[in-house]
Amino acid sequence: MKRKTALITGASRGIGRAAAIKLAREGYDIAACCLKSAEQIEDLKFQLETAYGVRVLTFLGDVGDFEFVKDMFHDINMEFGGADVVVNNAGISYIGLLSEMDPDEWNRVINTNLTAVFYCSKLAIPHMLSVHEGKIINISSVWGVAGASCEVAYSASKGGINAFTQALAKELAPSNIQVNAIACGVIDTEMNQFLSEDERQCLIDEIPGCRLGKAEEVADLIWTLAGGHNYLTGQIIRLDGGWI
């Protein structure tokens, strides 16, 4: 039986890496991409191929660049026949006052976090339509639901993902393609390593679950969405320990 293939963006570390490991463990061939962490992404490839015997393609480039994404999907289609699951995980943050943010910084956040979701989804859909099934899983944030002071661009990009998810889910539901988003709370990844111990503890004190989330917990939810639930679509699922 032919394995299914999952594309994970931002796969070199954190949630993306955990998702690649989980899906490979469950028997998926993997297409993994990241912006510039060549050593980390090749280490991931070696780990997955050695431990789970799956095929792995790796890509180094900017998912906010349509030409790069087109070339990536060409290779995925040639090697695997297409992507059956797309995990749109690549993301960057910007912390600071909006009045001090320049347009290039704004565009970089929006292109990486939101426009890339459009690119990857658009190019994945033809294969999914041809086999009459597929899963698009977008990694969002609770700030896309509630908004965060000094993270306006990030919040806007994640709010855009949420609206994109709900709209595309309606468009693709008749074709048995499910589109959902996971709105993460504070996950213990490198993105949050800038926080001091006092800042981390203040956050933890606000979270009813009394701790930060783990990348592996997000990966488990990704797997749950990838592996079934064909009537579950258009949902923004908060994974935040009851925080927001």
Query: What pLDDT, on the 0 to 100 scale, is given for residue 192?
Result: 77
Bridge partners, 178 (sequence order)? 135
Q: What is the CATH number of the domain that holds 234?
A: 3.40.50.720
Q: What is the pLDDT of residues 121-171, one digit of tens each?
A: 999 999 999 999 999 999 999 999 999 999 999 999 999 999 999 999 999
Contacts of 77 (CB under 8 A, 6+ apart): 127
Note the pTM of the prediction, 2 decimals: 0.96
In a domain, 244, yes or no: no
The beta strands (E) that lie in 37-176 are given as 56-60, 85-88, 134-141
Q: What is the pLDDT of residues 83-120, one digit of tens each?
A: 999 999 999 999 999 999 999 999 999 999 999 999 99
> Are 182 and 222 a contacting pair, CB within 8 Å?
yes
In a domain, 59, yes or no: yes
> Are 29 and 5 a contacting pair, CB within 8 Å?
yes
In a domain, 140, yes or no: yes
In a domain, 154, yes or no: yes
In a domain, 85, yes or no: yes
In a domain, 234, yes or no: yes
Say if residue 190's pLDDT is above 90.
Answer: no
In the structure, what pLDDT confidence band is assigned to residue 2 with cuts at 50, 70 and 90?
confident
Count structural domains, the chain. 1
Which among 28, 52, 94, 154 is annotated as catalytic?
A: 154
Query: What pLDDT, on the 0 to 100 scale, is given for residue 196?
Result: 81
Q: Is 154 an active-site residue?
A: yes
In a domain, 155, yes or no: yes
Q: What is the pLDDT of residues 43-85, one digit of tens each?
A: 999 999 999 999 999 999 999 999 999 999 999 999 999 999 9
Bridge partners, 5 (sequence order)? 29
Contacts of 14 (CB under 8 A, 6+ apart): 187, 189, 190, 191, 215
Bin 111: left if φ > 0, else alpha if -120 < ψ < 50, else beta.
alpha
Rounded to 5 degrees, φ, ψ at 77 are -65, -40
> Are 69 and 119 a contacting pair, CB within 8 Å?
yes
> Which residue range is the domain that position 108 belongs to?
5-239
